[in-house]
Amino acid sequence: MIGKIVNSNSHTDYICQVYGSGEIDNPPVPADYGFGTFVLMPISEEAGIVGVVYDTKLYNPDFGNLGPRLSSEPDLEIFSPDYLAEKMTLVGIKTLGILNSNGAAEQGIPALSVPGDSGVTKMTQGEVKSFHLNNQKLLQIEYAPILLDQASPHARHLLLCIIDNLRIIFPEHEKKLSVLHQEWSWQARIKPVGGLA
């Protein structure tokens, strides 16, 4: 478990609060929620919404607060054990589609939204594989145009990261994925310079 959904920016853009030390038995490490990580957010016992981590924000309410302190941070654990540590890591997640428990996948904008406080888990390699294969077991990346239409300057870099991950999972599709990687790599370099499509 990586964390839980605490907010959303839109129907396809969610904010996950990453679990910290003491919140769960095995808190996640940064590699569990890195840029381009595929995640799953349950919407029922049979299905979950698939997303990808596209952003990270560090939240520290004490930053810039230079006023006097009654207790140092180590003393808080002793004198105020109920003190709430408000430093946290937040990750942005873009939705890519739905994955059913039987392995059936539907890529694109999901009709349903993710309920608040839903858990977020890192997808296994098997789940990522199932999500990217259609009924004929052909590789599909139908969510790519949706990500490219986002106003984010990171969209092409996110797709490059996704392609790199898929090249490891689908070595049999190396040729096709390599062509996509070259195309998006070129666009990621040229688009910011001249605004070319």
Q: Which of 53-62, 67-76, 105-114, 144-153 has the lowest mean pLDDT?
A: 67-76
| Structure tokens belonging to residue 62 | 């004490």
- For 78, the 3-state DSSP assignment is helix
Domain count, the chain: 1
Please give the DSSP secondary-structure letter assigned to residue 70: S
Domain encompassing residue 105: 3-194
Residue 193's pLDDT band (boundaries 50, 70, 90)? Answer: very low
Q: How far is CA 3 from the centre of its chain?
A: 11
Q: Given this model, what pLDDT does residue 156 score?
A: 87
Nearest to 51 by CA among 64, 61, 41: 41
Q: What would the DSSP string read from start to end of 105-116?
A: EEESS-SSPPPT
Mean pLDDT of the 7-11 span: 94
pLDDT digits (tens, 9 = 90+) for 160-177: 999 999 999 999 999 999
Q: Given this model, what pLDDT does residue 183 score?
A: 85
pTM as predicted: 0.83
Give the gyration radius of the chain's Cα atoms.
19
Distance, in Å, from the CA atom of 181 to the CA atom of 129, rounded to the nearest integer, reads: 18
Mean pLDDT of the 150-159 span: 82
Q: Which residues contact 183 (CB under 8 A, 6 or more apart)?
A: none
SS3 content of the chain, % helix, strand, coil (to 5): 30, 30, 40
Question: Which residue is associated with the tokens 């990808």?
Answer: 52
- Predicted confidence (pLDDT) at residue 194 exceeds the cutoff of 80: no
pLDDT digits (tens, 9 = 90+) for 133-142: 987 788 999 9
More reliable by pLDDT, 83 or 52: 52
Distance, in Å, from the CA atom of 109 to the CA atom of 95, rounded to the nearest integer, reads: 7
Q: Given this model, what pLDDT does residue 64 score?
A: 53
| Structure tokens belonging to residue 180 | 């996509």
The chain-wide mean pLDDT, for the chain, equals 86
First to last CA, the chain: 39
pLDDT digits (tens, 9 = 90+) for 72-110: 666 655 655 544 457 789 999 999 999 998 889 999 999
